[in-house]
Amino acid sequence: MTDSNNTEKKPWAGRFNQPTDVFVEAFTQSVSYDKRLADYDIIGSSAHIRMLAKVEVVTKAECEMIIQGLDAIMADIQSDQFKWSIALEDVHMNIEAALVQRIGDVGKKLHTGRSRNDQIATDLRLYLRAEMDDIRLKINALIQVLLTLAASHNETIMPGLTHLQAAQPITFGHHLLAWVAMLQRDQARLQDCRVRVNVLPLGAAALAGTSYPIDRDYVAELLGFDAVMQNSLDAVSDRDFVIEFLACASVMMMHLSRFSEELIFWMTQANGFIDLGDQWCTGSSIMPQKKNPDIPELVRGKTARVYGDLMALLTLMKGQSLAYNRDNQEDKESLFDAIDTVKACLVAYTGLVPTMTVNKTAMYAAAAKGFVTATDLADYLVVQGLPFRDAHEVVGKIVHYAISQDKALSELTLPELQQFSTAISADVFAVLTLEGSIAARDHAGGTAPRQVTKAIERIKKQMASEPEQP
């Protein structure tokens, strides 16, 4: 519950004679959304007070009281008993006020040697680190369902497209593994970004550091940060890590959006390659026959908002002088929105993919139509001794002829083929079949069924060797 009244005493009220205008309170508050950071705010505060006790700025007894108070507040928040107040502006001041109310004046010692500026930067990094680790697991789950589907379609033949035109036959499993490769890069990007998220700003205080004999390495160790930020001005004003994450999220959404586009295309009546489970589709209020791929469409649509979140942060930061400015408060809703969106879309796809049914006959028929073994025929002629450019020319003429006869390449007779090149003999028909074409691409990264199976094994091994927590 968030209360709105301006009777609460603000921690910064000392310098002011007049109470804050009610509009200003509503305009400046962030608690309605930054309360999402509460757990991390408390974890950060507990580490801070432990450090202050270690360097003897507060006593052990004071530290214990404060930690107990913070733990009780966390329990209240988690059980929804905590009363949030807009008059107390943000998550930090709400928790601090509750602490003082609960344990008395000793609670006022928590904010020694610290500012909300380094506090919010710390909260945000702790929060984002946890969310990134969760996103990584969610990508893993999606990769798993794609691998399962790919394994059962290592021999399923479909037309591979360029320019949306039939190009060469491929296996459906191979196509799905292209999606997996995109998701694996998304994970690698997040891992790299995590290195720059996982650095401690606390200790920078407002901007210049603090006069207390603080031990920042100890705080970093308590909070699991790999290092401390080396410049106090940078520590409080840097939001590169949010921008980097949003860039990673944008690329990931671009991938999910491309998957969406393909699913929607495969599900059209014209293609009929796949169907999606009834539970994962919706209908039309006017056209009784409709079954629409709304989930992929929404994922494609939601990509736009994540790009918007990235643009918001880039624009937010571009005009800011060092160090902290209140503008930074506007970083949170974009970040939260992107995280919620990315997670929901990954969950959506992990649920949707296993409901997919594949119409192998339709895929095969479409592949058989588009002269997709023309490259194989050219390669055959090269083996017989023709330079590739000449072979390309000969096959172009054969395709032109086949179109005029309304025949597929494999339906042409040997004498028909031999009109175009005497290098062609009866063994040509082996390379003109779809099966022959895919089986021939039997090298690492190729579409042959054997390679699809090998690639799945390799990816599974890679995933098994990755640590659960980075």
Q: Tokens 């949170």: give the residue.
A: 332
User: Which of 386, 367, 359, 378 lies closest to 438, judged by CA?
Assistant: 367
Size of the site for ligand ARG (CB under 6 A): 10
Is 284 a known active-site residue?
Answer: yes
The reply on whether position 117 binds ligand ARG by CB under 6 A is yes
- Residue 320 CB, nearest distance to ligand ARG (Å)? 12
CB of 15 to ligand ARG, least distance (A): 13
> If binding is defined by CB under 6 A, does position 326 make contact with ligand ARG?
yes
Segment interacting with ligand ARG (CB under 6 A) among 101-109, 240-248, 275-283, 320-328: 320-328
User: According to CB under 6 A, which residues from 118 to 147 bind ligand ARG?
Assistant: 120
Task: Considering only residues 152 through 171, tell me which ones interact with ligand ARG, judged by CB under 6 A.
Answer: none
Name the token pair of 106.
Answer: 């000793």
Q: What is the CA radius of gyration of the chain?
A: 31
H or E stretch at 227: strand 227-228
Which range in 113-121, 154-162, 300-308, 354-362 contacts ligand ARG by CB under 6 A?
113-121
Instruction: Print the binding letters for residues 75-104 with ligand ARG: x by CB under 6 A, - otherwise.
Output: ---------------x--------------
**For 224, left (φ over 0), alpha (ψ -120 to 50), or beta?**
left
Nearer to ligand ARG by Cβ, of 149 and 233: the residue is 233
Of 45, 48, 92, 163, which one is the catalytic site residue? Answer: 163
**Is residue 300 within the footprint of ligand ARG (CB under 6 A)?**
no
Give the span between the Cα atoms of 433 and 306, in whole angstroms.
44
DSSP assignment of 386-452 equals --HHHHHHHHHHHHHHHHHHT--GGGS-HHHHHTT-TT--TTHHHHHSHHHHHHH--STT---HHHH
Q: Does the annotation count 48 as an active-site position?
A: no
CB atoms within 10 A of CB 129: 20
Among 94, 237, 328, 334, binds ligand ARG (CB under 6 A): 328
Cis peptide leading into 323, omega within 30 of 0? yes
- Which stretches of 152-285 are DSSP H helices? 172-197, 216-223, 232-237, 240-266
Q: Restricting to residues 25-44, name those near ligand ARG by CB under 6 A.
A: 30, 34
Binding-site ranges for ligand ARG (CB under 6 A): 30, 34, 90, 116-117, 120, 324, 326, 328-329
Active site residues: 163, 284
